Amino acid sequence: MNKIDLNGRCAVVTGGAQGFGRAITERFVASGAKVAIWDHDLPFAERTAAEIGENARAFKVDVSDLAAVESARDATLKAFGKIDILVNNAGITGANKTVWEMDLGDWRKVMAINLDGPFICCKAVVPAMLANKYGRIVNIASIAGKEGNPNAAHYSASKAGVIALTKSLGKELAAHDILVNAVTPAAAKTAIFDQMTQQHIDFMLAKIPKARFLLVQELASMVAWLASEDCAFSTGAVFDISGGRATY
């Protein structure tokens, strides 16, 4: 593990109880940061925080609910005193269906968590970063947001929206030492696979030139750099981590 200096930094990781979020939380704590795990499943998040150690704390929050996010923000500021880093990681895939077979409720649920969630969290946290005159925001998008996956239009569209949100917010905050970047990972073997058909999983693997799925620790390494002071001149950017799948 290369050393990343996050000493003295306070971070929020949404969906931090498992998968990408847990790996990011572990890497941040190993790098010297304190981390607030924002997750809808508080008991799970508390177990994760206990396993990681005293520099991780769990907070219950529904990222699609502005009032809940503002409450979690206030509780985090009370506990840590500041928020230097925000990682918008919480997400769901929804059912694998064609556009014409997809349930409208499923479309809206995916959008509410995957796209509204990052917007709401940024809306709530950015004022605290502006007051502190420093911040790093990392949005977890997806290669699906670049290419579009068949039978996953809701997920693909939500992640494309995250990329556009990143670019817009990055420009808005560029003069404030608050940098906003996105990563576009290929699939990794996490609990999110439980929401997918085996056919869809096989499709995603077949598209990766490295012929394997992403490791969660590999994503965490990239996010840790983007969350650090070493990342000083990249904002509104999209960082590929797709094993060669990306077409742009």
Domains and CATH numbers, the chain: 10-239 (3.40.50.720)
The dihedral formed by the CA atoms of 40, 203, 188 and 219, expressed in degrees to the nearest 10: -110
Could you give the 3-state DSSP secondary structure of residue 12? strand
Q: Which amino acid appears at position 197 of this protein? A: T
| Cα 21 to Cα 15: distance, rounded to the nearest angstrom | 6
Whether the Cβ atoms of residue 230 and residue 4 lie closer than 8 Å to each other: yes
> pTM to 2 decimals?
0.94
Half-sphere exposure of 127 (CA within 13 A, CB side): 7
Instruction: Give the residues across from 88 on adjacent strands.
Output: 139
Whether the Cβ atoms of residue 87 and residue 14 lie closer than 8 Å to each other: yes
Count CB-CB contacts under 10 A for residue 104: 8
- What pLDDT is recorded for position 199? 87
- What pLDDT is recorded for position 190? 76
| Weakly modelled stretches of the chain, pLDDT under 50 | none
Whether the Cβ atoms of residue 83 and residue 11 lie closer than 8 Å to each other: yes
pLDDT digits (tens, 9 = 90+) for 185-222: 988 877 767 777 888 888 888 988 998 888 999 999 99
Give catalytic residue positions: 155
Report CA torsion sign: 48, 71, 63, 233: negative
Distances (CA, A) of 117 to 15, 96, 172, 193, 209: 11, 21, 19, 20, 31
Could you give the 3-state DSSP secondary structure of residue 115? helix
- What pLDDT is recorded for position 187? 83
pLDDT digits (tens, 9 = 90+) for 26-36: 999 999 999 99
- Return the closest-CA partner of residue 158 out of 109, 86, 220, 103: 109
- What pLDDT is recorded for position 188? 83
| Cα 55 to Cα 25: distance, rounded to the nearest angstrom | 10
